[in-house]
């Protein structure tokens, strides 16, 4: 018999994320409104390998030319915008769930990166940013010299 430890806080965390998303969406104006106050937050994954940091953002429907990526003072900032296509009269929509407008994400980098070797590619609505670690922060293996005692 296998026992699984129940963690009540995992369910509370899930509920909190859903409530945050609900309130974020409720406070958003109608897409295409001219006041320009619409903001959204693309989902992001960040992981680290021995040689690099990798940041992946879901940006479906975003023109890569509308995305600005910068690294400054150990902070990665990604800004862009997804436009609401006004091909239909907004009164004809029954539901609008996707977010539109400007977005900005900033992440403090946990280690130094080689800014000259940063790569970004965009495929199928997913932006991948690869930030190679600077040589000074890569792990180095130290050999132990043996001596005849």
**Tens-place pLDDT, residues 89-119:** 767 778 777 788 899 999 998 778 888 899 9
pLDDT higher than threshold 70 for residue 55: yes
Burial class (CB in 10 A: 0-12, 13-18, 19+), 39: middle
Work out the pLDDT band at 34, boundaries 50, 70, 90.
very low
When computed from its CA atoms, the radius of gyration of the chain, rounded to whole angstroms, is: 22
pLDDT higher than threshold 80 for residue 58: yes
Mean pLDDT computed over every residue of the chain: 81
In a domain, residue 3? The reply is no
Top-confidence residue, 84 or 77: 77
In a domain, residue 30? The reply is yes
For residue 70, give the nearest of 79, 81, 59 by alpha carbon. 79
In a domain, residue 81? The reply is yes
In a domain, residue 145? The reply is no
Name the domain count of the chain: 1
Cα–Cα distance, 95 to 114 (Å, whole number): 45
Q: What is the pLDDT of residue 28?
A: 54
In a domain, residue 46? The reply is yes
In a domain, residue 120? The reply is yes
Q: Find the domain containing 15 and state its range.
A: 9-87+98-136
């Amino acid at each position: 018999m296998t026992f699984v430890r129940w963690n009540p806080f995992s369910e509370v965390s899930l509920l909190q994320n859903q409530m945050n998303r609900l309130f974020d969406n409720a406070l958003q104006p109608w897409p295409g409104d001219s006041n320009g106050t619409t903001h959204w937050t693309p989902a992001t994954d960040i992981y680290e390998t021995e040689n690099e940091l990798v940041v992946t953002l879901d940006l479906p429907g975003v023109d890569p030319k509308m995305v600005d990526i910068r690294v400054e003072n150990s902070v990665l900032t990604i800004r862009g915008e997804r436009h609401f296509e006004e091909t239909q009269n907004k009164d004809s929509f029954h539901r609008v769930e996707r977010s539109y407008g400007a977005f900005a994400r900033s992440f403090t980098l946990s280690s130094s990166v080689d800014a000259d070797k940063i790569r970004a590619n965009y495929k199928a609505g997913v932006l991948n940013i690869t930030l190679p670690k600077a040589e000074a922060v890569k792990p180095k293996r130290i050999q132990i010299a043996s001596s005849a005692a």
